[in-house]
Amino acid sequence: MNSKVTLIARILLGFILIVFGLNKFLDFMPHPELSAQGATFMGALMTTGYMFKLVGLTEFVSGLLLLVNKYKGFALVLLVPISVNIVFFHLVLEGGNGIFPALVVAGLNAFLIYVNWDRFKSLF
């Protein structure tokens, strides 16, 4: 696989994760209007007092690891459940609204796992 494409994908995914992870702590981006189901789900995550911040921290750490090119495999594995949940949140609870950014994150994650498959073979 072209190393420039892989580098761009890794940096792009890392940057996206850092921005959205930090937003869960600093709240600097506007909140999109959510459906009743989506708002209930997000409210439940915030009400726990820790879950929303745990997701943000995981996104931030994964993004940072990808940007500094350390422990890529670990970062990509950490990101899988988050990527899947982002996609299903938009598909199931939001009726497809906002699905494009979710697919970008999941697609970049899947692509980077694919090009680094030698690191993951033993897991399967």
**Residues of the domain holding 61:** 3-29+46-123
pLDDT in tens, 7-28: 999 999 999 999 999 999 999 9
* Separation of alpha carbons 74 and 98, rounded Å: 27
Residues 99-110, buried b or exposed e (16+ Cβ, 10 A)? Answer: beebbebbebbe
pLDDT of residue 61: 97
Q: Is residue 89 part of a domain?
A: yes
Q: How many domains does the chain have?
A: 1
In the predicted structure, residue 98 carries a pLDDT above the cut 80: yes
Instruction: Please give the angle made by the CA atoms of 51, 54 and 57, to the nearest 5 degrees.
Output: 155
pLDDT of residue 124: 78
Q: Is residue 35 part of a domain?
A: no
CA 111 and chain centroid, separation: 13
In terms of pLDDT, which residue wins out, 2 or 44? Answer: 44
Q: Is residue 34 part of a domain?
A: no
Q: Is residue 23 part of a domain?
A: yes
Q: Is residue 36 part of a domain?
A: no
pLDDT in tens, 31-79: 889 999 999 999 999 999 999 999 999 999 999 999 999 999 999 999 9
Q: Is residue 38 part of a domain?
A: no
Instruction: Please give the angle made by the CA atoms of 53, 70 and 54, to the nearest 5 degrees.
Output: 10
Q: Is residue 40 part of a domain?
A: no
pLDDT in tens, 111-124: 999 999 988 888 87
pLDDT of residue 122: 85
* Separation of alpha carbons 24 and 48, rounded Å: 14
Q: Are 72 and 116 in contact (CB under 8 A)?
A: yes
Q: Is residue 39 part of a domain?
A: no
In the predicted structure, residue 1 carries a pLDDT above the cut 80: no
Phi-psi region of 38 (alpha: psi -120 to 50; beta: other; left: phi over 0): alpha
